[in-house]
Amino acid sequence: MTYNPQRALELLRIGSGRADATFREGQEDAIRHIVDGRGRLLVVQKTGWGKSFVYFIATKLLRDGGNGPALLISPLLALMRNQIAAAERMGVRAATINSDNVDDWTQVEATLARGEVDILLISPERLANERFRTQVLAGIAAQISMLVIDEAHCISDWGHDFRPHYRLLERIVKTLPPNLRLLATTATANNRVMEDLAAVLGPKLEVSRGDLNRTSLSLQTIRLPSQAERLAWLAQQLAALQGHGIIYTLTVRDANQVADWLKTRGFNVEAYTGETGDRREALEQALLNNKVKALVATTALGMGYDKPDLAFVIHYQMPGSVVAYYQQVGRAGRALDSAYGVLLSGQEESDITDWFIRSAFPTRQEVAAVLGALEEEENGLSVPELLSRVNLSKGRVDKTIALLSLEAPAPIAKQGTKWQLTAATLSEGFWARAERLTALRRVEHQQMQDYVELPFGDHMGFLISALDGDPSVVTQPALPPLPTGVNEALVRDAIAFLRRTSLPIEPRKKWPIGGMPQYGIASNTTINFQAQPGKALCVWGDAGWGGLVRQGKYHDGKFADDLVGACVKMVREWNPQPKPTWVTCVPSLRHPDLVPNFAKRLAAALGLPFHMVIAKTDERPEQKTMANSTQQARNIDGSLALNGQPIPQGPVMLVDDMVDSRWTLTVAAWLLRQSGSGEVLPMALSQTGHDE
């Protein structure tokens, strides 16, 4: 098939909605390369260059020439709305099969079978789905005219954003006819990643690589150790910054907290995270239409989000690698002459990044625990059943299963809802890769720490060198640096804000799988004597009260009077109904006086009597050593009892220092209610902050 340049330009103009649009350097060459069938191509171009125009125009030209549909694999289906809209303007019929549109699958499959789909978009996870491979992919495999792999750096485990399911592509690509058109695209690939891609997608992979420099971006780093200082800086600078932007945080909790703080200062901002759910599309649109000053986002607002006139990208904490940082900051200033990319660096970020690095791969002990449990059950185990056998969190079990099942050959496989062992054993290569990548992540983290220390003007050159580009093309920043100082009064306000938060403790509604045998409770039944919704003052070790709670527990052996005052204030604002008429607490054999001492002082400050009515019957491991909810429930089973003191009848406030799984509070409330107390209102100093 021969390429038609007039038709390609016409499609670009229709798709972009601009009658004067012309191809960017390299765009037309890439389209021609694919349409003419000159072999496999990897396009490495910075964000906003227009990679999607390459594959949508190529698809349309191939379909016009009588070829079959294209298959596009992307981790970003939820964020591809703009690109799909542009494709549809060109007359490209795009359809998607993903976990968000299950109800449409049958219709999409029928349309595909009738030849009425030009390009099918799927996530890499779909390739692991047996039904999709046998019933959908097998039916169209022979007709596919082009395979497009978007965000191809996800294939490379050297990359910053490796997705295990992308490794399935390696097997699929090996089975493809050698002359099948294959286009891979990415904005972020250094030499190491490109070598990996050539090995997976090769053997003859041509590379079209653009310039990495972003002349419109003025980059700056500011070291502000405490969260209160960074909150103050944001409130100060957001008032002066022109335009609209994104503020990136490393965790969901930080995104919500920063957004809440900025709202209290009168800014129109919203949090955007993996937990935003069905509001995501509306929030993306609100930023596109300049209806919000900024979105405070985790990487959930990542690759694929395209707002060409973003005026600033600010990082509240340092990301873990140069590649990740370049990817995120590169959202700013695509269609502007100048934009800010400011990285604020704080003391908690290294702990967070270190946690991400440490938890990226399962440990040998975790793998042994999962394989050992499966070995004992020839019919296999579902994930909930596994959680009752191994002391690992659901997140760790899910990660272990995902990585083991994607090995080739895989030591485990899924039959229905259960995982079973296969004849294969896990190769040492798995561990070698884990060690190699963990070491690489540490090097990347150090590289980012070096970036933070650079003087103004040196940042872009550093990033381009780290990405194996040509730093000689870098020019001086177009904008002056932003002020680095913070207003002391604003810092005090931020400290007060951080200390103002309280967190809900939701009551548990059902007993665990396996029940509570020592209390005579059957498996998974409804809890008949439930606690009321409760409150925790803070997150353990957090920037507000969390540090003081940690110090009281592990350093001073007593909780400070300031914490009593803070809890009194929280209870008054909470104003629970019914109001408590007495106070009790959860006992501990390890720290027998710590919580009772605090609960007595709190009761006195609230003007309520304190009665110690619960006892710990035997020593158990600390709840924090139990990694999932089922194990934590089992650890509490039979360990609490009433001590024989009379139980007052009115509503009671039940005090503990830490809440994690909520099983301790659940059992204590059940015992109290069963013995005639009124409603039980749980109150804890802190939540552990573990993400189960």
Residue 133: helix, strand or coil by DSSP?
helix
Report residue 103: phi and psi, to 5°.
-65, -25
Q: pLDDT exceeding 90 applies to what percent of the chain?
A: 62
| 112 contacts: CB under 8 Å, gap ≥ 6 | 69, 95, 120, 136, 139, 140
CATH value of 501-687 in 3.40.50.2020, 3.10.180.10, 3.10.20.440, 2.40.50.140: 3.40.50.2020
Measured CA to CA, the distance from residue 248 to residue 343 in angstroms comes to: 9
Identify the pLDDT of residue 336: 93
Taking a C-beta distance cutoff of 8 angstroms, is the pair 210, 48 a contact? Answer: no
**E-assigned strands of 335-452?**
339-345, 412-415, 418-421
Please check the confidence at residue 692 and state whether its pLDDT lies above 50: no
Mean pLDDT of 115-129: 88
CATH value of 365-433 in 1.10.10.10, 1.10.3720.10, 3.40.109.10, 1.10.150.120: 1.10.10.10
Domains 5-209 and 217-354+441-495 share a fold: yes
Query: pLDDT by residue (tens digit) across 291-348?
Result: 999 999 998 887 667 888 999 999 999 999 898 899 899 999 988 999 999 999 998 8
Mean pLDDT of 536-553: 89
Residue 203: count of CB within 10 angstroms of its CB? 9
SS3 content of the chain, % helix, strand, coil (to 5): 45, 15, 40
DSSP 8-state class, residue 180: S
Mean pLDDT of 488-512: 92
- Token pair for 437: 């990548």
Identify the pLDDT of residue 618: 86
Spatial CA neighbour of 52 closest among 6, 86, 100: 86
Measured CA to CA, the distance from residue 63 to residue 92 in angstroms comes to: 9
Report residue 691: phi and psi, to 5°.
-95, 105
Q: Tell me which H or E stretch contains 563.
A: helix 561-574
- Tokens 């999409």 belong to 108
Mean pLDDT of 555-584: 95
- What's the length of the chain? 692
347, 352, 353, 359: CA torsion to nearest 10: 160
Q: Look at 62-76, 104-118, 134-148, 324-338 and tell me which has the smallest mean pLDDT.
A: 134-148
- Token pair for 164: 């295990």
Spatial CA neighbour of 112 closest among 68, 46, 48, 169: 68
Please check the confidence at residue 115 and state whether its pLDDT lies above 50: yes
Spatial CA neighbour of 612 closest among 567, 570, 648: 648
| 532 contacts: CB under 8 Å, gap ≥ 6 | 507, 576, 679, 680, 681, 682
Q: 430-434, 513-517, 669-673 — which one is most confidently predicted on average?
A: 669-673
Please check the confidence at residue 79 and state whether its pLDDT lies above 80: no
Please check the confidence at residue 214 and state whether its pLDDT lies above 50: yes
Measured CA to CA, the distance from residue 207 to residue 631 in angstroms comes to: 51
Mean pLDDT of 79-101: 83
Q: How far is CA 36 from CA 5, 43, 259, 520, in A?
A: 12, 16, 50, 73
Residue 415 or 135, more confident: 415
Please check the confidence at residue 99 and state whether its pLDDT lies above 80: no
Spatial CA neighbour of 452 closest among 553, 376, 342, 348: 342
- Token pair for 207: 């590379």
Identify the pLDDT of residue 284: 93
Query: pLDDT by residue (tens digit) across 392-431?
Result: 988 899 999 988 998 888 999 999 899 999 999 999 999 9
Tell how strand 146-149 and strand 181-186 pair up. Answer: parallel
Residue 656: helix, strand or coil by DSSP?
strand
Taking a C-beta distance cutoff of 8 angstroms, is the pair 576, 681 a contact? Answer: yes
| Domain 5-209, second-level architecture | 3-Layer(aba) Sandwich (3.40)
Q: How far is CA 653 from CA 173, 530, 584, 659, in A?
A: 62, 14, 6, 15
Mean pLDDT of 483-505: 92
Residue 389: count of CB within 10 angstroms of its CB? 18
Query: To 5 degrees, how large is the angle CA 284–CA 289–CA 294?
Result: 60
For the chain, domain boundaries: 5-209, 217-354+441-495, 365-433, 501-687
Q: Kindly report the average pLDDT of the chain as a whole number.
A: 91
Taking a C-beta distance cutoff of 8 angstroms, is the pair 76, 52 a contact? Answer: no
Identify the pLDDT of residue 63: 95
In sequence order, the β-bridge partners of residue 40 are 205
Residue 303 or 650, more confident: 650
Query: pLDDT by residue (tens digit) across 232-276?
Result: 999 999 999 999 999 999 999 899 999 999 999 999 999 999 888
Residue 507: count of CB within 10 angstroms of its CB? 17
Please check the confidence at residue 691 and state whether its pLDDT lies above 60: no
Measured CA to CA, the distance from residue 4 to residue 382 in angstroms comes to: 54
Side-chain-side CA neighbours of 553 within 13 Å: the count stands at: 16
3-state secondary structure string, 358-408?
HCCCCCHHHHHHHHHHHHCCCCCECHHHHHHHCCCCHHHHHHHHHHHHCCC
- Token pair for 403: 């990585």
Side-chain-side CA neighbours of 572 within 13 Å: the count stands at: 11
Identify the pLDDT of residue 601: 98
Identify the pLDDT of residue 493: 95
Q: Does domain 217-354+441-495 have CATH number 1.20.1250.20?
A: no
Measured CA to CA, the distance from residue 587 to residue 456 in angstroms comes to: 55
Spatial CA neighbour of 34 closest among 14, 6, 58: 58
Identify the pLDDT of residue 551: 93
Identify the pLDDT of residue 689: 63
Residue 97 banded pLDDT, cuts 50, 70, 90: confident
Identify the pLDDT of residue 158: 62
Spatial CA neighbour of 186 closest among 35, 2, 76, 42: 42
- 289-293: long-range pairs with CB below 8 Å, 24+: 290/244, 292/244, 292/268, 293/238, 293/244, 293/245, 293/267, 293/268, 293/269
Helix ranges, 17-90 (H): 27-35, 51-64, 81-89
In sequence order, the β-bridge partners of residue 27 are none
Identify the pLDDT of residue 316: 97
Q: 5-9, 35-39, 163-167 — which one is most confidently predicted on average?
A: 5-9
- Token pair for 489: 């009064």
Q: Tell me which H or E stretch contains 680.
A: strand 680-687
Identify the pLDDT of residue 161: 62
Measured CA to CA, the distance from residue 290 to residue 284 in angstroms comes to: 10
- Token pair for 488: 């002391």
Measured CA to CA, the distance from residue 338 to residue 318 in angstroms comes to: 22
Q: pLDDT exceeding 70 applies to what percent of the chain?
A: 98
Measured CA to CA, the distance from residue 333 to residue 215 in angstroms comes to: 9
Would you put residue 243 in left (φ > 0), alpha (ψ -120 to 50) or beta? left
pTM attached to this predicted model: 0.83
- Tokens 């938890």 belong to 359
Identify the pLDDT of residue 217: 95
Identify the pLDDT of residue 458: 96
Side-chain-side CA neighbours of 62 within 13 Å: the count stands at: 30
- Tokens 């891609």 belong to 197
| 263 contacts: CB under 8 Å, gap ≥ 6 | 269
Please check the confidence at residue 91 and state whether its pLDDT lies above 70: yes
- Token pair for 555: 């350093």
Please check the confidence at residue 123 and state whether its pLDDT lies above 50: yes
Please check the confidence at residue 23 and state whether its pLDDT lies above 50: yes
- Token pair for 18: 């601009």
Mean pLDDT of 194-207: 86
Mean pLDDT of 452-475: 93
- Tokens 């403790």 belong to 505
Identify the pLDDT of residue 116: 93
